[in-house]
Chains A and B, each alone.
Chain A
Amino acid sequence: MTEKSSITLTINGRDHAIKVEARRTLADAIREDCGQTGTHIGCEHGVCGACTVIVDGEPVRSCLMFAAQAAGKQIRTVEGLAKGDTLHPMQQAFMDHHGLQCGFCTPGFLMLAVGVLEREPDISDDDLIDVLSSNLCRCTGYQNIIKAVRAAAKEMRK
Chain B
Amino acid sequence: MPEKQKFIGRSVPRLEDRPLLTGQGRFAADVSFPGQWHMRVVRSPVAHGNIISVDAAAALALPGVHAVWTYKDVAHIPRIGFRLTRIEGLTPYQQPVLADGVVRYVGEPVAVVFADDPYLAEDAADLVALDIAPLALAVTEPGVVRKAYGDIEAAFRDAHAVVKVELAVGRHSGVPMETRGAVARYDEARDVLEMHGAAKVPHWNRDQIAKMLGRDINSVQLYEGHVGGGFGIRGELYPEDVLVCAAALKFKRPIKWIEDRREHLISANHSRDQVHRVRAAIDAQGRILGIDDEFFHDNGAYMRTHAATVPDLAAAMLPGPYRVPAYRAAGHIRLTHKTPAGTYRAPGRYESTFVRERLMDAIAAKVGIDTVEVRRRNLIGKSAMPYNLGLETLGTHIVYDSGDYALLLDKALQAAGWHKLQAELKMRRAKGEKVGGGVGMFVEKSGLGPFDTVRIDVKRDGRVEVVTGVASIGQGVETVIAQICADTLGVDYQDINVVHGQTDRIAKGMGAFASRVTVMCGEATRLAAVKLREKALQAAAPLMQTNAGALDIVGGEIVRSGGGPSMTLAALAQQVSEGLSAEDTFEAAHMVYPYGVHVAAVKIDAETGGVTIERYVIAYDIGKAVNPKLVEGQIAGGLAQGIGGALFEEFAYDESGEPLSVTFADYLMPTAREVPDISVLISEDAPSPLNPLGLKGAGEGGANPVGAVIASAIDDALQRPGAVTRLPVTPQRLKALMAGR
Contacts and interface: CB of A to CB of B under 8 A. Distances in A.
A2 B120 contact: yes
Interface stretch (B85-93, B174-182, B462-470, B589-597): B174-182
Dominant secondary structure of chain A at its interface with chain B: loop
Q: Could you say which interface size class chain B belongs to?
A: 35 or more
Interface string A135-148: 11111111111100
Interface stretch (B221-229, B354-362, B576-584, B598-606): B221-229
Nearest to B632: A98
A8 interface: no
B64 to A, nearest CB: 8
B689 interface: no
Contacts, number: 175
A74 interface: no
A135 to B, nearest CB: 8
A40 B227 CA distance: 12
Interface string A35-46: 011111111110
B639 A141 contact: yes
Contacts of B280: none
B178 A102 contact: yes
A58 interface: no
A39 B120 CA distance: 22
Interface in B138-181: 174-179
Dominant secondary structure of chain B at its interface with chain A: loop
Contact of B664 (A103, A110, A136, A141): A136
Interface string B529-542: 00000000000000
Given A101-B476, A101-B637, A141 B675 contact: yes
Interface in B2-27: 11, 13-14, 16-18, 20-27
A41 B672 contact: no
B672 A129 contact: yes
B637 A43 contact: no
Interface string A110-140: 1000000000000000000110111111111
Given A138-B175, A144-B633, A144-B636, A37 B29 contact: yes
A38 B25 contact: yes
Contacts of A60: none
A36 B226 CA distance: 16
Contacts of A79: 22-24
Contact of B675 (A21, A43, A47, A142): A142
A100 B672 contact: no
Contacts of A96: 13
A100 B640 CA distance: 14
Nearest to B19: A103
A44 B563 CA distance: 62
Nearest to A110: B21
11 contacts: A23-B119, A39-B23, A81-B23, A94-B17, A103-B25, A104-B229, A138-B231, A138-B640, A140-B636, A142-B670, A143-B677
Interface of B: 11, 13-14, 16-18, 20-27, 29-30, 119-120, 123, 174-179, 226-231, 260-261, 473-476, 629-630, 632-633, 636-641, 663-665, 669-673, 675, 677-678, 702
Interface of A: 1-2, 21, 23-24, 31, 36-45, 47-48, 50, 77-79, 81-82, 87, 91, 94-96, 98, 100-107, 110, 129-130, 132-146
Given A37-B29, A101-B475, A142-B670, 17 more contacts: A2-B120, A37-B30, A38-B25, A40-B29, A41-B29, A47-B663, A48-B177, A81-B22, A81-B23, A98-B629, A98-B632, A129-B672, A136-B671, A138-B231, A141-B636, A144-B636, A146-B672
